[in-house]
């Protein structure tokens, strides 16, 4: 970790150079059916199976990019005693568990990192705690393997998210400390963490289409007030012209929680869409906002995201999640993150192999479908293909509510020749 990683994310499809992951651990298993909903799950996962599936993602990415793990970065960050104390105090104050501070500070860096992610079992040493139905004083971070949401590397800086649900706030606190103090990254952080409950921003809603174009979902996890904060940040930092395309999203079901669950970019000239939300509804607006001379100069409605992108010189052919033929297949496969692809280079993406109608749609449009095991073993070299979809096993991970894009935080991408 001698050479600092300079944050540089100016597209969704540029060749990947570095990425942050968090392999699911016991924090995923520290859940019961009774508290699953509070943890933002509809079911509890089989951890060994989820870990095996996630390992496929990591091993594929290690073939062509530097991969950093959240827990390793956190241990590195905790090497600074002042940062360690400040982080523990901030987390304890956030959860009103100040009496746990000394116990946590007495742990080694590795033990403390484990507790901050996997949780701290409540000591039943008072009547109130004895009578409490809670198991943890420091709750496990069940959702942290979806690294996309809590911090957003964007252009040359990192926006620290203001998470919509308190159960995920600690993810942002940890990642802010990592980007600021681990010594691994060269960047600036901008915190969106805000006491106003109306200000909500999560990374799954923010796509960097091009260095001058952001796509942002406005729904259950990212509010209009949060987007206004991003607009102000962009206005303050950029004297040139920027375009922000906002897509309103349904607040339910939970499979629509982020824009990247209904829209992702695949190549210079194509994108994946969930047709009922992106094309077939007039209820949810698409809004094009222009920023120039450090202020918002224009706000206007567009018909849909592809049309808005086309007006800016990005002509994207839409491919359909679940295929074109049957709304039933579209709905089923969108539920299992069938629109949630992660591009590791132009035309080269990772997604779940279970979404067969989506894969057939992509294959008809020139994508070679390759099993992740063939990439990992070296049997298949992705460089031999112009367009390729690396298919991951996906029996458990999709039940957590996300796909390959949700589980990755890109740090550096090479420039794209548009």
Does residue 308 lie in a domain region? yes
Does residue 23 lie in a domain region? yes
Q: What is the mean pLDDT of residues 311-326?
A: 96
| pLDDT band at residue 302 under the 50/70/90 scheme | very high
Does residue 120 lie in a domain region? no
Would you state the pLDDT for residue 32? 60
Would you state the pLDDT for residue 35? 57
| pLDDT band at residue 229 under the 50/70/90 scheme | very high
How far is the first Cα of the chain from the last one, in angstroms, to the nearest whole number?
32
Would you state the pLDDT for residue 42? 53
Q: Is the pLDDT of residue 99 over 90?
A: no
| Residue 166 near residue 172, CB atoms below 8 Å | no
Q: Is the pLDDT of residue 161 over 60?
A: yes
- In the three-class reduction of DSSP (H, G, I as helix; E, B as strand; rest coil), residue 3 is classed as coil
Q: Is the pLDDT of residue 132 over 70?
A: yes
Would you state the pLDDT for residue 1? 46
| 293: region left, alpha or beta (phi > 0 left; psi from -120 to 50 alpha) | left
Would you state the pLDDT for residue 41? 52
Total count of domains within the chain = 1
CA dist., res. 334 & res. 354, Å (int):
11
Q: What is the mean pLDDT of residues 380-387?
A: 95
Q: What is the mean pLDDT of residues 313-335?
A: 95
Residue for token pair 């915190």: 191
| Residue 410 near residue 5, CB atoms below 8 Å | no
Query: What is the domain-level CATH number for residue 393?
Result: 3.75.10.10
Would you state the pLDDT for residue 8? 98
Does residue 83 lie in a domain region? no
Q: Is the pLDDT of residue 38 over 70?
A: no
250 CA to centre of own chain: 19
Q: Is the pLDDT of residue 82 over 90?
A: yes
Does residue 401 lie in a domain region? yes
Q: Is the pLDDT of residue 331 over 90?
A: yes
Q: Is the pLDDT of residue 39 over 50?
A: no
| E strands, 197-339, in order | 206-210, 213-218, 242-248, 263-265, 270-273, 286-292, 295-302, 317-320
User: Each residue of 2-19: pLDDT tens digit?
Assistant: 589 999 999 999 999 999
| pLDDT band at residue 124 under the 50/70/90 scheme | confident
CA dist., res. 44 & res. 214, Å (int):
34
What six digits make up the tokens of 386?
A: 């112009």
Q: Is the pLDDT of residue 33 over 70?
A: no
Does residue 400 lie in a domain region? yes
User: Each residue of 253-301: pLDDT tens digit?
Assistant: 777 899 999 999 999 999 999 999 999 877 899 999 999 999 999 999 9
| pLDDT band at residue 237 under the 50/70/90 scheme | confident
- My answer on whether omega of the bond before 119 falls inside 30° of 0, hence cis, is no
Query: Which element (helix H / strand E) includes 361?
Result: helix 356-364
- In the three-class reduction of DSSP (H, G, I as helix; E, B as strand; rest coil), residue 306 is classed as helix
| Residue 351 near residue 391, CB atoms below 8 Å | yes
Neighbours of 193 (CB within 10 A): 15
Q: Is the pLDDT of residue 40 over 60?
A: no
Does residue 408 lie in a domain region? yes
| Residue 161 near residue 172, CB atoms below 8 Å | yes
| Residue 231 near residue 269, CB atoms below 8 Å | no
Q: What is the mean pLDDT of residues 338-346?
A: 98
Q: What is the mean pLDDT of residues 71-87?
A: 97
| 73: region left, alpha or beta (phi > 0 left; psi from -120 to 50 alpha) | alpha
Would you state the pLDDT for residue 277? 93
CA dist., res. 24 & res. 15, Å (int):
25
| Three-class DSSP labels, 71-121 | HHHHHHHCCCHHHHHHHHHHHHHHHCCHHHHHHHHCCCHHHHHHHHHHCEE
**Exposure of 171 in the CB half-sphere (CA atoms within 13 A):** 26
What single DSSP character describes residue 254? G
Least confident span in 52-56, 67-71, 76-80, 124-128: 124-128
What six digits make up the tokens of 188?
A: 């600036």
Does residue 302 lie in a domain region? yes
- In the three-class reduction of DSSP (H, G, I as helix; E, B as strand; rest coil), residue 309 is classed as helix
What six digits make up the tokens of 167?
A: 């159960």
Among 66-75, 164-173, 399-408, name the most confident range.
Answer: 66-75
CA dist., res. 253 & res. 373, Å (int):
33
Q: Which structural domain, as residue segments, surrounds residue 409? A: 5-76+140-413
């Amino acid at each position: 970790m001698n050479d600092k990683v300079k944050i540089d994310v100016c597209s969704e499809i540029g060749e990947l150079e570095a990425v942050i992951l968090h392999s699911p651990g016991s924090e995923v298993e520290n859940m019961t059916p009774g508290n699953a909903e509070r943890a933002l799950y509809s079911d509890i996962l089989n951890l060994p199976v989820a870990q095996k599936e996630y390992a496929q993602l990591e091993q594929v990415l290690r073939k062509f990019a530097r991969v950093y793990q959240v827990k390793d970065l956190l241990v590195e960050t905790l090497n600074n005693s002042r940062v360690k104390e400040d982080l523990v105090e901030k987390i304890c104050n956030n959860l009103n568990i100040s009496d746990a501070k000394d116990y946590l500070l007495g742990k080694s860096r590795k033990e403390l990192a484990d507790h901050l992610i996997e949780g701290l079992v409540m000591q039943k040493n008072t009547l109130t705690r004895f009578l409490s139905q809670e198991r943890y004083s420091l709750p496990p971070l069940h959702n942290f393997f979806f690294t996309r949401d809590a911090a957003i590397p964007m252009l040359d800086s990192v926006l620290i998210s203001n998470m919509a649900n308190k159960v995920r706030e600690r993810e942002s606190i940890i990642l802010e400390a990592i980007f600021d103090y681990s010594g691994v990254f060269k960047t600036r952080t901008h915190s969106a963490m805000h006491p106003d409950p109306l200000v909500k921003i999560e990374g799954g809603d923010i796509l960097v289409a091009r260095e001058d174009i952001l796509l942002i979902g406005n729904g259950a996890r990212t509010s209009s007030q949060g987007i206004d904060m991003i607009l102000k940040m962009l206005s303050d930092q950029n004297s040139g012209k920027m375009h922000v395309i906002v897509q309103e999203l349904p607040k339910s079901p939970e499979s629509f929680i982020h824009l990247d669950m209904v829209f992702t970019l695949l190549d210079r000239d194509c994108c994946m869409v969930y047709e009922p939300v992106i094309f077939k509804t007039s209820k949810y607006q698409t809004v094009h906002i222009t920023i120039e001379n450090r202020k918002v100069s224009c706000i206007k409605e567009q018909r849909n995201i592809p049309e808005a992108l086309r007006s800016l010189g990005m002509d994207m052919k839409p491919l359909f999640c679940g295929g074109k033929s049957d709304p039933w297949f579209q709905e089923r496969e969108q539920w299992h993150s069938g629109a949630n692809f992660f591009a590791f280079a132009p035309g080269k993406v990772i997604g779940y192999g279970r979404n067969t109608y989506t894969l057939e749609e992509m294959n008809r449009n020139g994508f070679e479908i390759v099993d992740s095991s063939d990439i990992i073993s070296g049997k298949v070299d992705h460089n031999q293909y112009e367009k390729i979809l690396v298919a991951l096993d996906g029996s458990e991970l999709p039940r957590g509510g996300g796909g390959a894009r949700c589980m990755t935080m890109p740090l550096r991408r090479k420039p794209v020749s548009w």
